[in-house]
Structure formats: C-alpha cells, structure tokens
Chain A
C-alpha cells in the first residue's frame, strides 16, 4: 500500500513584486496491490507459471476536481475534503507464462501479462526538462492498461557455444495520454483540461544470436518493430507512429582476445530515426514566418548509426595492483547523428527558411586506466 502526494508547483513572489503568490493544488492518492502466483509442473517438458495481481487506486481529496468538455473548458468543479475519495479504480492483472522443452537444447516459451499504471509522467519534449509533470489517476485520468502476448523459440548450438532466440510480441494499450497542442505548462493548475486520451499498440520480432566462448565472441541482436498511437483529436483519428517508434534496431558486439594481454572489441549500433513532425508549408503572420503542419509524426529523423572500437591492454599478471589501459574511439567514422532538427528563417537571408540539424557528439577518442586492488 502506497500513499502518493504530488506537489505540482508553487509561486513565491517577493515583497513589492508585481507578481502574486500562488500555489497549484497538491494531489494525493492511495495505491494498493495484492499478488498471488503458482508454478505448475505439468509434465517433464511443460512448466506453467500463473498469477493474478489485483491493483486498486483511489484518487483522494482535498482539492478541486474539475470536469471538462471536449475543448478543455471547465464545465463543473467539485471540492473534496481531506481524505475524501474522488474515484477508485480496481484492475485485475492476470499473467501466465509457459515453457515447453522441445529437445535437450531447445525450448518454446509463451506468455501473457496485463499491467496497469497509476502514476504518469507527462513529458513535453525529447529530453527531461523542468516542465516534466507527474500526474496520478483522477476523475478524468484513467489508469493506463497494457496487455502483452509473447512467443519465443530458444536454442543452443554446438554444445552451448552458440545461443539463439527468436521472439515475437504484441502489446495492446489503452488510456494513453498526450498533451493538446499549444499547452501552457508554466504554473498551470488546469493541466487536466489540456490532456487527450487514446489507444496504443506495439508489435515486433526480436532476433538474438550469441557466441559465448572462444577467441572471438560476441553477439548480434536485431529487432523489427512498430509502436503506434491513435487519438481522436490527432491526425483525424488514424494510427500514427509514436515518437520513439524504431522500425529497425540492430546491435553488433564483437570481442577478440588476441593474446594474454590484448583484447580488441567493437560495437556497432543502427536504428531508424524517431518519428517527428516536419512543416508542410509556411505563411506570414504579423510579418513573421509561421510553419504549417499537416500530420503529426509523419516524418523521420535520419537513421542513427555508430561504430565504436576499443583495445584493452592488461598489465602483466602477478603484480599487487591489477590494472589495464583501454584505448577507444567512440563514433569512429564521425557520423553526425541528428539530435534535433529545427526549422527557421535563414539568418543571412530573411526571405528564405532552412532546416538546421544539431549533433551532440562526433568522433571522440578516449584513454582509460582501470585498476583494482
């Protein structure tokens, strides 16, 4: 059982300032959960684990709780006393997983779980910022619910030298939350009027191969996936990719033990760029350029990829202080990965607009000395 209190914000002004003191109402809630599970060995080859989690959440007073119309305007406000229950949500969360041994070196696994989430982090940008906001369930905000099914095939080769797995999954989500466009997040005590609710879904295939022993070892992982959202007020209610949707995600790690003291390693990552919203036109308003957007998340940032190389030299063994030197190059071919892409008037020629890419890191060499004693 957990009691949550959230203090969204407070404004303190000094004497004589033209700003008034203000405080956004705190919010309180009570979260409770119970869980039972059982493991059932059906046969030599089949194992099933199943369980049920019961989750209950109550939004509590004191405070003013509002009801809104479709456009976010307040239509009713009700004041609750301290500890008075505003709304209670009860959600059963069943889960079941099974594993079936096919042969001595391979198996099949399947699972289904349902999860609910009562505390939500509302992020307004690609990175954390002071305007990130925690909200709890309320008379307007419902718990986020996700149902996931997954099936996987696992197999070891050549006396367990190689490990291979292939998994597919499908996840169905409801009560997803997004901000209405143009929401003012500074000292806003009415954020709930600016929230939109919708559905989500995600599905994909994950492949993984690992070489566990030998001079050359390492692994490769590849995921093909899609994660999308659907909101009535966004993109006319069609399914659109979520910002973090990554069609391809590839990682390759190789480690080569050249001698007793030298080890070389390399890492290569590749993923499809984030889904973003680019302008589809522009117009002049009060003498300034304003961009026109027709669809949210219909575009992609350029793909992200990077190669890192490293060489590690272990000190001669037997000394009291075990140490090693690592020489590495991060982003060996200096790929300028896009961190953000902004559109603006050309500062040298105000009659033209341009796209500006910001990159965080280029090629970075590094030297590290590790020691243990």
Chain B
C-alpha cells in the first residue's frame, strides 16, 4: 500500500540504499504457530467472509494455513446474531445480508478452547464521484496516473482504502485519511506500480470506508513492511481482536467505479 507522501520518502530512502544487495541465509527462530483471523462485513448485499489460519515458518512456501472447526458468530446491537459456516478449510461464510452503516458489529470466534472477540463500527458511506487520469513525469518516464474524485464528509473522521485493479489484475492498494482534507472535494492520485497504463486499458477503483482502528492496523502493517521509509521498530500491529489473535475485523462500506483509461 502506498500513499502520495510516502512515495517521495520511499524514493529518497531508495537512493540512499544504493549499495550492494544480496540474498543471504539467516538463522531465524520459528515461533509456535499463532492464530490469524481476517474478517470483514461490508454494506453490500452478499455473503461475508471470515478467514481463520495459523502462522507458518518463514522458510515455508507462502500459503493460507487454514484452520477448521471454529465457531464464528456476528452480533448486532439489539441481540440479533448471524452464524458463519465453514465452506472450505479455514474459510467461513455468512448467509447473504447487507451490513448497515453506523452499526457497531461484534464478532466472536471460538476455536481450540479459546474465544477471540473484535468489534468494528461500520462508517457512514462515502461514494466515489468519478475517475480521471493525468500524465505525470516520473524520473524521465511519463506515466498515466489514475485519479479518484470524492467529497469527504466534514462531520466525521474518515479513513479510506483504495484498491486499484487494472487489466483485470489488482495492482495497488492505497491507504489514506482525511486529517489534511476534511470536508473538501478531494482528488486522490492513485500511483500504481504498473509500468505502462495505456489508453484503452480497463481500470477499476474500489474505495472502502474503514473504521479508525482498522485504518491504524493497516497503516501499521504498511509501516512495518518498510513502505514509506524506515519503520519504527518492527513489531506486530495492534489487532482489534482480544486474546492475542493476529489479523483484523473490518466493517467497511464500499464504492466501486469502472472505466477505461483515456486522457482528456
């Protein structure tokens, strides 16, 4: 995930580290596998997903180490509960329903004799108005940068996650908040890693409204991976789950627009 200001810092840091790089063997101590819960509820009328897994040793091939046999229950103020059922190993789905913005959802996960609880308040929805494009010079290369237009509500503290998919493939995630733009008509530049975004390519932008704790969690993850400059000492981000579970529960609103790249 990159945000505008981070890109400049990252480039500066990159220039300093122009020394030799080499892949090396490091002796790492593998810890006991830890529980990871990735859960979401959105405002779309669909089946929502909770992924439960365990951490794997560093040297192992990246994979989703799904954990079966968990009880996953979502509660709403007022007492109503919704149960998620396991459809594949580690993947638990709910029946179709649309999350309601402004609701404080509570998720309880019971597995291996322990209970992990998290709560997330779904923010009020903010819609993407439109998409645009502009040309930007980047170290001699001309790149096309997608732009997202939206109006940030003044009354609330808003946090957003932008997902950019180009040519049917996810190319970038961008995390931002309204600390500097509260109440304004915002033009969000969505820098992507993609070398050539050409006229005529299909582009899809999804804007998610996140609650503050979820934003802080994703921000910490980006920081710890070293994006946006050298990180504050690496450690685990603060999950909104109790009892030491890793991962996060996010109740978010979503707004998606699709377009084709064209410069005016």
A and B: real partners?
A: yes
Q: Are A357 and B55 in contact (CB under 8 A)?
A: no
C-beta contact mask, A253-287 vs B, less than 8 Å → 1, else 0? 00000000000000000000000011111111111
With contact pairs A11-B180, A285-B36 given, residues A359 and B229 touching in the complex (Cβ less than 8 Å): no
Q: Report if A105 contacts B (CB, 8 A).
A: no
Q: Report if A296 contacts B (CB, 8 A).
A: yes
Distance in Å from the Cβ of B60 to the closest Cβ of chain A? Answer: 8
Q: Are A282 and B55 in contact (CB under 8 A)?
A: yes
With contact pairs A18-B181, A356-B21, A358-B21 given, residues A181 and B62 touching in the complex (Cβ less than 8 Å): no
Q: Which residues in B have their C-beta under 8 angstroms from that of A298?
A: 29
Q: Report if A113 contacts B (CB, 8 A).
A: no
Distance in Å from the Cβ of B181 to the closest Cβ of chain A? Answer: 5
A-facing residues in B86-113 (Cβ within 8 Å): none
User: Which listed residue, B21, B38, B181, B223, touches A357 by the CB 8 Å rule?
Assistant: B21
Instruction: Give the distance in Å from the alpha carbon of A298 to the alpha carbon of B26 in the complex.
Output: 14
Give the size category of A's interface with B: 35 or more
Instruction: Give the distance in Å from the alpha carbon of A362 to the alpha carbon of B221 in the complex.
Output: 33
Q: Are A182 and B184 in contact (CB under 8 A)?
A: no
Give the size category of B's interface with A: 35 or more
Q: Which residues in B have their C-beta under 8 angstroms from that of A126?
A: 230
Q: Which residue of B lies closest to A280 (CB)?
A: B31
User: Which listed residue, B19, B31, B55, B62, touches A345 by the CB 8 Å rule?
Assistant: B62
Q: Are A357 and B22 in contact (CB under 8 A)?
A: yes
Q: Report if B231 contacts A (CB, 8 A).
A: yes
Q: Are B186 and A18 in contact (CB under 8 A)?
A: yes
Interface SS majority for chain B: loop
Q: Are B226 and A124 in contact (CB under 8 A)?
A: no
Q: Which residues in B have their C-beta under 8 angstroms from that of A296?
A: 233, 235
Q: Report if B196 contacts A (CB, 8 A).
A: no
Interface SS majority for chain A: loop
Q: Report if A312 contacts B (CB, 8 A).
A: no
Q: Are B58 and A282 in contact (CB under 8 A)?
A: yes
Q: Are B55 and A281 in contact (CB under 8 A)?
A: yes
Q: Report if A42 contacts B (CB, 8 A).
A: no
Q: Are B65 and A283 in contact (CB under 8 A)?
A: yes
User: Which listed residue, A181, A186, A279, touches B28 by the CB 8 Å rule?
Assistant: A279
With contact pairs A285-B36, A292-B55 given, residues A184 and B180 touching in the complex (Cβ less than 8 Å): no
Distance in Å from the Cβ of A25 to the closest Cβ of chain B? Answer: 15
Distance in Å from the Cβ of A200 to the closest Cβ of chain B? Answer: 15
Q: Are A182 and B238 in contact (CB under 8 A)?
A: yes
Q: Which residues in A have their C-beta under 8 angstroms from that of B233?
A: 178-179, 181, 243, 277, 296-297
Distance in Å from the Cβ of B26 to the closest Cβ of chain A? Answer: 4
User: Which listed residue, B17, B36, B220, touches A182 by the CB 8 Å rule?
Assistant: B220
Q: Are B25 and A355 in contact (CB under 8 A)?
A: yes
C-beta contact mask, A282-303 vs B, less than 8 Å → 1, else 0? 1111110111111011110000
A78-86, A153-161, A334-342: which lies at the B interface?
A334-342
Q: Are B232 and A183 in contact (CB under 8 A)?
A: yes
Q: Which residue of B lies closest to A353 (CB)?
A: B58
Distance in Å from the Cβ of B231 to the closest Cβ of chain A? Answer: 7
Q: Are A289 and B23 in contact (CB under 8 A)?
A: no
Q: Are B55 and A283 in contact (CB under 8 A)?
A: yes
What are 26 inter-chain pairs, A to B, with CB distance below 8 A?
A: A13-B180, A18-B181, A18-B187, A19-B180, A20-B180, A124-B232, A181-B233, A181-B235, A187-B179, A243-B233, A277-B233, A281-B31, A283-B53, A283-B56, A284-B36, A285-B248, A286-B38, A286-B173, A290-B225, A292-B34, A294-B29, A299-B29, A339-B19, A344-B225, A357-B24, A359-B21
Contacts A282-B58, A282-B62, A283-B55 aside, 8 further interface pairs with beta carbons under 8 A come to A13-B180, A181-B220, A181-B224, A181-B232, A284-B36, A298-B29, A336-B22, A357-B23
